[in-house]
């Protein structure tokens, strides 16, 4: 008896695993985002209906709202980052599907065959025009099964109500996302330009790797490749932070840091930088609180830090806006200072140096007073030492 029972359990486990796939996936969308999507869809559909009522009147033989607009609202307001929810997908997909649906409704008498062919051809056209929009399949179906009112519109169905309502819903989405601070039309989220530029030179997954895998799979993914690259990059940074969490900024920072006050002159600050062979000076107030930072480029009159061409050397002598040596550093310092606490793991500094372009980061103690500074060389040395410790532990 035990053996047949065990055999039966093993034989049914694949079935249970298959049925488990029907369970809903966990949502990571925060409640404020969900509320914003609900309110946006409410306003979007209401605005679309009012525009239709205003333009065509209540007695016109045009549907006040077609059902596919509800599905489009889900995409535009709930998942606006999806490639399927972008403006061209909405407008292009709905228009081409409407034209295909009207054509099939007029030339094919059997409604079932006309419906199947309309949806199929609409998908084909959307792929060809790169405007895949799932609700557009319902647009094609509505053109075939919409009844006498829709059939009487003929190809006018493409313009009113489809084009008119699609444009109204899109306008509502553009305004709503702009008011609520959402990125739409969706632009890929990249930490900084340096992240995109440097991704090819770093180890690990590159953009070329992502494109090769996506092309090999040959499937339509509802996520922009740039977003996928950004997610992988952020995950990589978190891995770095977790791996090097044992070493803190206090362990690798340069102590005895030289700082200046806001009233220090440009001439004195330049002399300190040259004398000590450093490239930045934290600016602190009387309580040793960091209020700014001044670098060589701030004092050189070339804030972009670019190297001048030889042909510019003579003209730059007269026309470059070099700071007055007797002016105070308060007039040239950067007041937006990125500072970290002494207990911060050095892994957390990797994105700051790699992606945000920082070269010197002040370190603060528990009282928020300046206690040290970390440079790129300090970070590299700390990462190297921690790597050596981990290798010895593994060995």
Q: pLDDT (tens digit, 9 = 90+) per residue, 145-190?
A: 999 989 999 999 999 899 999 999 999 999 999 999 888 998 655 4
Which residues does 136 contact at the CB level (< 8 Å), separation at least 6?
68, 93, 94, 96, 97, 122, 126
Last residue of a domain, one of 147, 179, 211: 179
Whether residue 44 is found in the same domain as residue 160 = yes
Instruction: Find out whether the peptide bond into 337 is cis, omega within 30 degrees of 0.
Output: no
Q: What is the mean pLDDT of residues 203-221?
A: 72
Three-state secondary structure along the chain? Answer: CHHHHHHHHHHHHHHHHHHHCCCCCCCCCCHHHHHHHHHHHHHHHHHHHHHHHHHHCCCCCCCCCCCHHHHHHHHHHHCCCCHHHCHHHHHHHHHHHHHHHHHHHHHCCCHHHHHHHHHHHHHHHHHHHCCCCCHHHHHHHHHHHCCHHHHHHCCHHHHHHHHHHHHHHHHHHHHHHHHCCCCCCCCCCCCCHHHHHHCCCCCCCCHHHHHHHHHHHCCCCCCCHHHHHHHHHHHHHHHHHHHCCCCEHHHHCECCCCCECCCCEHHHHHHHHHHHCCCEEEEECCCCCEEEEEEHHHHHCCCCCCCCCHHHHHHHHHHCCCCCCCCEHHHCCECCCCCEECCCEHHHHHHHHHCCCCCEEEEECCCCCEEEEEEHHHHHHHHHHHHHHHHHHHC
Specify whether 231 is located in the same domain as 266.
no
Domain limits at 365? 249-303+319-394
In 10 A of CB 172, how many CB atoms? 22
> Does residue 233 form part of some domain?
yes
119 pLDDT band, cuts 50/70/90, is very high
- The CATH number assigned to the domain holding 365 equals 3.10.580.10
- Is 188 within a domain? no
- 21 belongs to a structural domain: no
Residues 139 and 279 in one domain: no
Say if 38 falls within a structural domain: yes
Domain match, 140 and 234 both: no
Provide mean pLDDT across the span 221-238. Answer: 72
How many whole angstroms separate alpha carbon 156 and alpha carbon 95?
11
Please check whether residue 115 is in contact with residue 141, taking contact to mean a CB–CB distance below 8 angstroms: yes
Q: Would you state the pLDDT for residue 276?
A: 87
Share of the chain above pLDDT 70, in %: 79
To the nearest whole number, what is the mean pLDDT of the chain? 82
Same domain for 89 and 218? no
Residue 260: is its pLDDT beyond 60?
yes
pLDDT at 2 over 90: no
Q: Is 353 inside a domain boundary?
A: yes
**pLDDT given at position 195:** 43
In the predicted structure, residue 254 carries a pLDDT above the cut 60: yes
Tokens of 356: 């945000």
Q: Are residues 234 and 253 in the same domain?
A: no
Please check whether residues 211 and 91 belong to one and the same domain: no
Does a structural domain hold residue 22? no
Q: Is the Cβ–Cβ distance between 169 and 73 less than 8 Å?
A: yes
Both 144 and 256 in one domain: the answer is no
Q: Give the residue-averaged pLDDT of 16-35.
A: 79
Assigned domain for 187 exists: no
Are 64 and 147 in a shared domain?
A: yes
Q: Please tell me the least confidently modeled range out of 21-30, 36-45, 100-109.
A: 21-30
Phi and psi (nearest 5°) for 73? -65, -35
Tokens 């249970």, located at residue: 16
> Considering only 88-102, 181-195, 210-224, 351-365, which range has the smallest mean pLDDT?
181-195
Residue 142 near residue 43, CB atoms below 8 Å: no
Same domain, 291 and 160: no
Q: Is residue 302 within 8 Å of residue 323, measured between CB atoms? A: no
pLDDT score of 342 more than 80: yes
Domain match, 58 and 169 both: yes
- Answer yes or no: are the C-beta atoms of 135 and 95 closer than 8 Å: no
**In the prediction, which pLDDT does 235 show?**
72
277 and 224, same structural domain?
A: no
CA distances from 61 to 35, 150, 164, 214, 388 (A): 35, 8, 14, 46, 77
pLDDT tens for each residue of 373-395: 998 888 888 877 777 766 665 55
Instruction: Calculate mean pLDDT across residues 101-124.
Output: 96
| 3 domain residue, yes or no | no
Q: How many domains does the chain have?
A: 3
Q: Give the distance, in angstroms, between the CA of residue 141 and the centroid of all CA atoms in the same chain.
A: 35
Q: Which of 52-61, 158-167, 179-188, 329-338 has the lowest mean pLDDT?
A: 52-61
Predicted TM-score (pTM) above 0.75: no
Cis peptide leading into residue 144 (ω within 30°): no
């Amino acid at each position: 008896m035990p053996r047949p029972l065990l055999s039966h359990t093993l034989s049914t486990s694949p079935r249970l695993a298959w049925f488990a796939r029907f369970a809903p996936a966990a949502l990571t969308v925060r409640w404020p985002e969900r509320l914003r999507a609900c309110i946006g869809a409410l306003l979007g559909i209401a605005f679309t209906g009012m525009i239709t009522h205003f333009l065509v009147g209540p007695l016109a033989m045009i549907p006040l709202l077609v059902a596919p607009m509800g599905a489009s609202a889900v995409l535009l307001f709930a998942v606006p980052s999806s490639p399927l929810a972008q403006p061209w997908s909405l407008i292009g997909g709905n228009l081409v599907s409407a034209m295909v649906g009207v054509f099939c409704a007029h030339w094919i008498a059997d409604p079932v065959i006309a419906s199947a062919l309309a949806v199929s051809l609409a998908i084909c056209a959307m792929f060809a025009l790169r405007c895949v929009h799932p609700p557009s399949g319902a647009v094609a179906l509505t053109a075939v099964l919409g009844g006498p009112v829709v059939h009487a519109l003929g190809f006018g169905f493409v313009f009113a109500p489809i084009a008119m309502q699609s444009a109204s819903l899109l306008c509502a989405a553009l305004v709503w996302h702009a008011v609520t601070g959402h990125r739409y039309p969706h632009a890929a989220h990249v930490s900084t330009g340096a992240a995109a530029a440097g991704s090819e030179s770093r180890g690990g997954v590159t953009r070329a790797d992502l494109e090769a895998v996506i092309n090999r799979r040959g499937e339509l993914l509802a996520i922009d490749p740039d977003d996928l690259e950004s997610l992988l990059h952020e995950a990589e940074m978190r891995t770095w932070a977790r791996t090097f969490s044992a070493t803190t900024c206090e362990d690798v920072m340069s102590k005895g840091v030289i700082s200046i006050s806001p009233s220090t002159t440009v001439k004195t600050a330049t002399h300190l930088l040259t004398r000590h062979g450093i490239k930045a000076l934290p600016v602190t107030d009387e309580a040793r609180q960091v209020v700014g930072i001044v670098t060589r480029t701030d004092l050189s009159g070339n804030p972009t830090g670019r190297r001048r061409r030889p042909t510019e050397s003579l003209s730059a002598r007269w026309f470059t806006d070099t700071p007055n040596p007797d002016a105070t550093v308060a007039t040239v310092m950067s007041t937006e200072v990125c500072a970290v606490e002494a207990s911060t793991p050095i892994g957390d500094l990797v994105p700051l140096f790699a992606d945000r372009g920082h070269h010197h980061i002040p370190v603060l103690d528990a009282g928020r007073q300046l206690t040290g500074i970390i440079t790129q060389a300090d970070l590299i040395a700390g990462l190297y030492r921690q790597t050596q410790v981990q290798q010895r532990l593994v060995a």
